Amino acid sequence: MEEKEHQKMVDIVIGMQFGDEGKGRIIDLLAADYEIVARFNGGSNAGHTVKIKDKTYIFHLLPSGLLHEGVVGLIGNGVVIDLGQLIKELNNLKKMGFQPQLYISERAHLVLPYHPVLEDIEEEIRTKKIGTTRRGIGPAYGDKARRDGVVIALLKKPDELADVIINRVKEVNLLLQVLNKPLLNADDIISNLILETAEVKDLIVDSIAFWQEALTSGKKILLEGAQGALLDLDFGTYPFVTSSHTMTGGALVGTGLPLKSINRVIGVYKTYISRVGGGPLPTEQVNETGEYLRQKGKEFGATTGRPRRCGWFDGVLARYTAFVSGTTEIILTKLDVLSGLKEIKVASSYNLDGKVIEHPPASITEFLRLLPVYDTLPGWEGNLVSCRSFKDLPFEAKEYVNYLENLINIPIKAVSVGPERDQFIKR
């Protein structure tokens, strides 16, 4: 038993840019080799797309690996859960013929109806809009940090639950009153929660006991990061970030799994970059190229439908996020989208007020003044979606992948050439 406890059974998948790198489809593909797939951060701000033949599944709260029979899902303690959304997603999967096996950590926190209300007010007042997803994520994590959050375990203690909610609603209503907005009713929130609890109470587990059992019985575990490294609360482009930790540190805190159980950290990078919402994007192309990437890459939000801002691959940010997340290998997505461009640019350093810099600054005003210094590579023609081996790719496409591998200095183990499961090339 001691021996098995020390085995490295856990791999982590992390989005290495500003989200929407294609993590969902990669998790779906990899999950076939795992027994447990778990989320560790974020909430229903995530939108993870999995395409299987003529069906498209978009996961917001559920782990994207649940489409494989026998794979067990867990929503870790680091996630903030909107129960209504969770129930809807579970029911949708059941309607589509799946029998998802899911557990929820009793230490995860709830997103409650006052969280999106608070978020709307905060965004309205901000002079520089973050452009949040309005899913109540920031205020829910805010309540957790202020010690006013509602932990899932409270669903089994109705009196304590009511107490926390009544107090918080009292406070929120004071603000709503000042702003002349409709007030919230704590009793309605509590009675709705009781109804929702009836649907999920059997899924709630002590996730630490769950992990101990999983590790001692040698189960293979895949952790699915939501959002992206550059939206990380500490290491992203603060304040234009989400409110959770999106990288390897977040995976440990958001599950309670020990460091010694971690094996691989798989970083997912898109072959270009996108961002939705406000904040700096040094390589953004507000021109024909940006439009080409958006249309060809179908870069519209899976959660909010907003058009994503698009630009060239940013090598400076790529090296930075690879370091902070301890990435051991890379999967590159959407190589097919670059076909047809005459040339492809990659930022290899920045110019900040006349000085060359190779590390992103912490100051957001400096970040906004960065001018990328580009390397230019030749593009290629042809549709890549039917390529299934690296050698089938056009010479310039292979050179682009080799170039990125040298730039980030971490092995690129696979490349995707389309959204479907099999549109994927192992290297």
Q: What residues are annotated to the active site? A: 20, 48
- How big is the chain by its Cα radius of gyration, in Å? 22
- Alpha carbon distance 353, 14 (integer Å): 32
Binding site for ligand IMO (CB under 6 A): 15, 18-20, 45-48, 130-133, 135, 137-138, 226-228, 231, 242-243, 276-277, 302
By a kind-dependent CB cut-off of 5 to 8 A, residue 334 interacts, out of Mg ion, ligand IMO, ligand GDP, none, with ligand GDP
Binding site for ligand GDP (CB under 6 A): 15, 19-25, 47-49, 51, 298, 302, 333-334, 336-337, 416-419
Helix (H, G, I), strand (E, B), or coil: what is residue 55?
Answer: strand
Interacting positions 22-61 with Mg ion (CB under 5 A): 47
- Strand 412-416 and strand 424-426: the pairing is antiparallel
* Residue of the chain from 9, 16, 20, 397 that contacts Mg ion (CB under 5 A): 20
Q: How far is the CB of 174 from ligand IMO (least distance, A)?
A: 23
Residue number with CB closer to ligand IMO (228 or 311):
228
Q: How far is the CB of 47 from Mg ion (least distance, A)?
A: 4
Q: How far is the CB of 192 from Mg ion (least distance, A)?
A: 28
Residue number with CB closer to ligand GDP (39 or 107):
39
By a kind-dependent CB cut-off of 5 to 8 A, residue 25 interacts, out of Mg ion, ligand GDP, ligand IMO, none, with ligand GDP
Helix (H, G, I), strand (E, B), or coil: what is residue 167?
Answer: helix
- Alpha carbon distance 343, 49 (integer Å): 29
Phi then psi dihedrals of residue 51, to 5 deg:
-110, 125
Residue 393 Cα distances to 108, 409, 415, angstroms? 44, 21, 11
List Cβ neighbours of 138 (8 Å cut-off, separation of 6 or more).
119, 122, 132, 242, 243
Compute CA 51 distance to the chain's CA centroid, rounded to the nearest angstrom.
17
Element (H, E) at 365: helix 364-369
- Alpha carbon distance 403, 212 (integer Å): 42
Q: How far is the CB of 235 from ligand IMO (least distance, A)?
A: 14
Q: How many CA within 13 A on the CB side of residue 84?
A: 9
Residue appearing with tokens 């907005």: 181
By a kind-dependent CB cut-off of 5 to 8 A, residue 418 interacts, out of Mg ion, ligand GDP, ligand IMO, none, with ligand GDP
Could you say whether residue 302 binds Mg ion (CB under 5 A)? yes
By a kind-dependent CB cut-off of 5 to 8 A, residue 231 interacts, out of ligand GDP, ligand IMO, Mg ion, none, with ligand IMO
Residue number with CB closer to ligand IMO (131 or 307):
131
Nearest alpha carbon to residue 10 among 221, 169, 178: 221
Spatial contact of 251 and 40, defined as CB atoms under 8 Å apart: yes
By a kind-dependent CB cut-off of 5 to 8 A, residue 65 interacts, out of ligand GDP, Mg ion, ligand IMO, none, with none
Q: How far is the CB of 18 from Mg ion (least distance, A)?
A: 10
By a kind-dependent CB cut-off of 5 to 8 A, residue 144 interacts, out of ligand GDP, Mg ion, ligand IMO, none, with none
Q: How far is the CB of 48 from Mg ion (least distance, A)?
A: 6
Phi then psi dihedrals of residue 171, to 5 deg:
-65, -50
Residues of this chain that bind Mg ion (CB under 5 A): 20, 47, 302
